[in-house]
């Protein structure tokens, strides 16, 4: 694969992985960056959801058709590790990025199998200003299948947005929302740790809000301390 351009997601991801590998308290288990999606794959994905891919999503997949990382705390035992681009299980390590291929992401299967919740008109009103009429062919897809309990979902509409759903998509009201580009920023800023717990999740304590930029950037030492404290 060609060398990543400075400032691109790939370059920033590689820099993050290098920092993780260099830390004595971290063990990186698996890393995979896939080759770019073909034009045919991108076209098929658009046909599957019945709309053009958002520009930032298309640019991501035109650069790499999936990105995977899993890491944990050195010396800790985890009951399950996640094979690249597979389904996370209970007891997985705390660091996981599982940005699946464009064909797997852009599919009605997520809705049909209830991994993302049915999007209601009141959800659309919050996210897009009004209920969508006519409704989209596919209302929501999972792009980042990073946890047994949480995943990064894209709600499709005039300007698609990312939310982090809980309990296999049980409630779309439990997360703030943002663009895919900002979602990638927060994923890297959080070192691939849980994007609900440390990022967009609001825990049903207030109304969801649009996040226009991600500015919280904990050091790796600070994030390790949080993970250790949460683990008890």
> CB-based contacts of 28: which residues, under 8 Å, 6+ apart?
17, 20, 21, 69, 70, 71
As for how many domains the chain has, the answer is: 1
**Buried b / exposed e across 197-218, counting CB within 10 Å, b at 16+?**
bbbbbeeeeeebeebeebeeee
Residue 4 lies in a domain: no
| Of 217 and 172, the one with more pLDDT | 217
Task: Report the distance separating Cα 40 and Cα 123, nearest Å.
Answer: 32
pLDDT at 167: 79
* Other beta carbons less than 10 A from residue 178's beta carbon: 23
Choice among 16-20, 136-140, 166-170, 215-219 with the minimum mean pLDDT: 166-170
Residue 80 lies in a domain: yes
- Average pLDDT of the segment spanning 10-15: 98
Task: Write out pLDDT tens, residues 129-161.
Answer: 999 999 999 999 999 999 999 999 999 999 999
Residue 215 lies in a domain: yes
User: Closest Cα to residue 79, out of 71, 69, 63, 90?
Assistant: 90
Q: Facing residues of 28 across strands?
A: 71
| Of 114 and 159, the one with more pLDDT | 159
CATH of the domain at 102: 3.40.1580.10
| Banded model confidence at residue 2, pLDDT cuts 50, 70, 90 | low
Q: Are 97 and 187 in contact (CB under 8 A)?
A: yes
CA dihedral 63, 68, 74, 79 (to 10 degrees): 180
Residue 3 lies in a domain: no
Task: Write out pLDDT tens, residues 155-179.
Answer: 999 999 999 998 777 777 889 999 9
Task: Write out pLDDT tens, residues 34-81.
Answer: 999 999 999 999 999 999 999 999 999 999 999 999 999 999 999 999
Residue 1 lies in a domain: no
Residue 136 lies in a domain: yes
Residue 113 lies in a domain: yes
pLDDT at 171: 73
pTM of full prediction above 0.85 = yes
Structural domain that includes position 76: 9-231
């Amino acid at each position: 694969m060609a060398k990543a351009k400075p400032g691109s997601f790939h370059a920033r991801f590689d820099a993050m992985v290098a920092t993780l590998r260099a830390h004595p308290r971290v063990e990186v288990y698996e890393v995979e960056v896939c080759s770019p999606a073909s034009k045919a794959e991108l076209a098929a994905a658009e046909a599957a959801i019945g709309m053009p891919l958002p520009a930032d999503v298309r640019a991501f997949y035109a650069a790499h058709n999936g990105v995977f990382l899993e890491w944990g705390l050195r010396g800790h035992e985890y009951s399950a590790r996640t094979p690249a681009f597979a389904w996370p299980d209970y007891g997985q390590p705390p660091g996981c990025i599982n940005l699946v291929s464009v064909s797997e992401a852009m599919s009605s299967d997520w809705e049909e199998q209830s991994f993302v919740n049915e999007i209601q008109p009141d959800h659309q009103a919050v996210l897009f200003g009004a209920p969508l009429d006519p409704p989209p062919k596919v209302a929501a897809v999972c792009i980042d299948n990073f946890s047994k309990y949480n995943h990064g979902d894209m709600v499709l509409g005039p300007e698609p947005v990312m939310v982090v759903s809980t309990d296999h998509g049980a409630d779309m009201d439990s997360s703030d929302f943002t663009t895919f580009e900002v979602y990638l920023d927060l994923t890297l800023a959080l070192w691939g740790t849980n994007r609900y717990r440390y990022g967009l999740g609001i825990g049903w304590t207030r109304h969801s809000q649009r996040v226009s930029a991600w500015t919280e950037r904990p050091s790796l030492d600070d994030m390790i301390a949080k993970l250790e404290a949460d683990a008890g």
